[in-house]
Amino acid sequence: MQRFINNPDEVVEDTVKGFVKAHADLVRLASNPRVIAARHAPVDGKVGVITGGGSGHEPAFIGYTGRNMLDAVAVGELFSSPTAKSFLDAAREANGGKGVVCLYGNYAGDNMNVKMAIKLAAKEDITIATVVANDDVCSAGPDEREKRRGVAGEIFMWKCAGALAAEGASLEAVQAVAQRAIDNCRSIGVGLGPCTLPAVGHPNFLIEPGTMEVGIGHHGEPGVRVEPLKPAAEIARDMAKIVLDDHDLAAGTEVAVLVSGLGATPANELYILNDTIEQEITGRGLTIHKTYIGNYFTSLEMVGATLTVMALDAELKRLLDVDVDCPARL
Amino acid sequence: MQRFINNPDEVVEDTVKGFVKAHADLVRLASNPRVIAARHAPVDGKVGVITGGGSGHEPAFIGYTGRNMLDAVAVGELFSSPTAKSFLDAAREANGGKGVVCLYGNYAGDNMNVKMAIKLAAKEDITIATVVANDDVCSAGPDEREKRRGVAGEIFMWKCAGALAAEGASLEAVQAVAQRAIDNCRSIGVGLGPCTLPAVGHPNFLIEPGTMEVGIGHHGEPGVRVEPLKPAAEIARDMAKIVLDDHDLAAGTEVAVLVSGLGATPANELYILNDTIEQEITGRGLTIHKTYIGNYFTSLEMVGATLTVMALDAELKRLLDVDVDCPARL
């Protein structure tokens, strides 16, 4: 493993320490060392906005803590759900007396621990409303959307909800806009190379050189097919087609586009993908309002990329355009 | 090669096209397709701020085009200098009648082509003043600083100069602040894995698994030593020591810190490095004003990281804090 790590069992510990040091102007470590809170949180009378998830996806989830974004984040071990206690503590850090929305991805461990945190929080009169992200098209069919995983579309969900909460909206309104934001997102991932959990020491799945996995999840969950590696333009066309066929948007719809590297794919290759992605999207009569390119939601040192397309309405567009101040690029 | 590319000879072409599409609100392609200009450029009566360099370092150089940053960038082929004509055209795009500063890195090809561009520009009454970045500590000894390469310190140089130029400063003043900014920077790179130019098809240098190259350049130029791969904390200590020993700053000095991945190193590992880097810097009595962590200046899919430390004075600190709006994160 050609990696910058210390004790493989302390990767999350060391990551969080270095993160808080780098961004102490924006974030702080809570008394629970697996919870990152925004410096400003909690804000009295504001709905708290939290999430949580496994580590190894940096800058997700912790990098989206900040002004007009997330108030607190529960931090799990690598590719593992945070504990119920960490979700609870994130809610406590974010609670300004108006309730908390927990906007997280659809994974078994997260579902279980968030449910438990809701019960524990209720005993302290903290209401936690939830939205479960399920934007990953290839993880289940269109008639089973509730089974789909949450991936990079979560960032758009957090951004819209974070902005609305900062305006003083009610818990119901923030939950509703987050639900609409993620309902309007479709994502797909393509993997060209696996990643290795440092404590395991070998890849947790395989991608043979010369092949690629279409529809892969953020932890190597298999997608719809393995096929020979193709030129970027063909890959990008396939990614756009899978996302847009599932989305079925009317011509003239405005969209936001996010192309994220999975950790070991450099920016220039994401731009190469975007050249074709833009063609495919505009070729369907859609209008691109804004494009985000970079490492937004990664999987350790996996080689690959994801595409997320969010359909915008007037409110989502306005909220997406609100300036944020958080460690990750937005 | 597990890469998102089309024709290996058209990597730069495709990258630039996808880049301009993604960031059309901020940048535009000049009539020379190897020049990126800011949407706002040229600004009448403002000193133009330009740079140029080989491709494969994205988001450098093109991603730093924007408001309060670079007005135009000359784009070279992968790891190759832009042509003199491209540097000239970048100057033309940036020229608001008050002269242009070209702030670039110390490489033979760039030196030659910038010199030629200066002569060509003079015929059109465009004055080009230059600052040559040489922040890479391991590329030559302290008594031969003029031989050192320019690396990620260039970003701080651009940011300070771009902010001062936007305030309406003179050509001499912008040049002087850029020179002071880069004089105040020291950088070092550590490579854990090589990169491959797509048209070549095999790595252009070797790093044996289990080893690392200390002091490596952005194109695999050898550093001071190859040694067994060590825990991140030891690597970070070595990096900080090399940079700070060369810098020799008085206790109490404020610094800005930039930890950049080289392309295939994920963010969490940069944070792990930062945990120790911060200790080493503050342990010498220095104060960290701001830390930047991410992929700021890469080398295709090289595995590795760089550390840059810039000593701040009151003016540099003020200029560094000026908000910018460009495709790269700042």
User: Which of chain B's residues have a Cβ under 8 Å away from the Cβ of A291?
Assistant: 21-23
- Over residues A27-44, the pLDDT tens digits come to 999 999 999 999 999 999
Tokens representing residue A163 in the block: 């902005």
Restricting to B residues 80-139, those with a Cβ less than 8 Å away from any Cβ of A are none
User: Which of chain A's residues have a Cβ under 8 Å away from the Cβ of B25?
Assistant: 290
What's the whole-number mean pLDDT along residues A264-293?
98
Question: Over chain B (330 residues), what is each successive 10-residue block's mean pLDDT?
Answer: 96 98 98 97 98 98 98 98 98 98 98 98 98 97 95 98 98 98 98 95 91 94 92 98 96 98 98 98 98 98 98 98 94
Distance from CA of A314 to the nearest CA of B (A): 19
Strand stretches in chain A, DSSP E: 27-29, 35-38, 48-55, 72-78, 100-105, 128-133, 185-193, 211-214, 225-228, 254-261, 287-294, 303-312
A234: pLDDT strictly greater than 90: yes
Restricting to A residues 225-244, those with a Cβ less than 8 Å away from any Cβ of B are 229, 231-233, 235-236
Burial class (CB in 10 A: 0-12, 13-18, 19+), A290: middle
Choice among A23, A57, A218, A247 that is catalytic = A57
CA-based nearest residue in chain A for residue B192: A2
Give residue A222's pLDDT.
85
Give residue B220's pLDDT.
86
Q: Give the length of chain A.
A: 330
Query: SS3 helix, strand, coil % of chain A, rounded to 5?
Result: 35, 25, 35
CA A31 – CA A41 distance, rounded (Å): 14
Q: Are B182 and B154 in contact (CB under 8 A)?
A: yes
Give residue B1's pLDDT.
87
User: Which of chain A's residues have a Cβ under 8 Å away from the Cβ of B199?
Assistant: none
Distance from CA of B329 to the nearest CA of A (A): 6
Give residue A330's pLDDT.
85
What's the whole-number mean pLDDT along residues A8-15?
98
A329 Cβ under 8 Å from any chain B Cβ: yes
Choice among A23, A202, A218, A219 that is catalytic = A219
User: Which of chain A's residues have a Cβ under 8 Å away from the Cβ of B7?
Assistant: 231
Q: What are phi and psi of A278, to 5 degrees?
A: -60, -45
Give residue B204's pLDDT.
82
Give the closest of B14, B235, B271 to A58, CB-based: B271
DSSP element (H, E) containing A15: helix A11-22
User: Which of chain A's residues have a Cβ under 8 Å away from the Cβ of B259?
Assistant: 22
Q: What is the dihedral of CA A210, A214, A218, A222, to 10 degrees?
A: -90
Restricting to A residues 273-312, those with a Cβ less than 8 Å away from any Cβ of B are 273-276, 278, 290-295, 298, 300-301, 303, 305
Distance from CA of A325 to the nearest CA of B (A): 11
The C-alpha angle with vertex B154 and arms to B148 and B158, in degrees rounded to 5, equals 145
A207: pLDDT strictly greater than 90: yes
Reported ipTM exceeds the 0.95 cut: yes
Distance from CA of A247 to the nearest CA of B (A): 21
Q: What structural domains and CATH numbers belong to chain B?
A: 8-183 (3.40.50.10440), 185-320 (3.30.1180.20)
Give residue A185's pLDDT.
98
A114: pLDDT strictly greater than 90: yes
Give the closest of B2, B4, B275 to A209, CB-based: B2
Give the mean pLDDT of chain A: 97
Query: SS3 helix, strand, coil % of chain B, rounded to 5?
Result: 35, 25, 35
Q: How far separated are the first and last CA of chain A, in Å rounded?
A: 31
Give residue A20's pLDDT.
98
Tokens representing residue B207 in the block: 């790093």
Give the closest of B2, B207, B273 to A18, CB-based: B273
Choice among B23, B57, B218, B247 that is catalytic = B57
A62 Cβ under 8 Å from any chain B Cβ: no
A252 Cβ under 8 Å from any chain B Cβ: no
A214 Cβ under 8 Å from any chain B Cβ: no
For chain A, what percent of residues have pLDDT higher than 70? Answer: 100
A193 Cβ under 8 Å from any chain B Cβ: yes
Distance from CA of B97 to the nearest CA of A (A): 33
Give the closest of B18, B209, B271 to A273, CB-based: B18
Please name the residue ranges forming H helices in chain B: 11-22, 84-94, 108-122, 153-166, 171-183, 232-247, 267-283, 314-320
Tokens representing residue A222 in the block: 């298999």
Distance from CA of B207 to the nearest CA of A (A): 10
Which of A65-74, A199-208, B18-27 bottoms out in mean pLDDT, i.e. has the lowest? Answer: A199-208
Please indicate whether, in this complex, the C-beta atoms of B267 and A55 are within 8 angstroms of each other: no
Choice among B23, B202, B218, B219 that is catalytic = B219
Give the closest of B2, B22, B58 to A229, CB-based: B2
A289 is known as an active-site residue: no
Cα–Cα distances in angstroms (integers) from residue B293 to residues A21, B151, B271, in the given order: 11, 15, 7
User: Which of chain B's residues have a Cβ under 8 Å away from the Cβ of A209?
Assistant: 2
B247 is known as an active-site residue: no
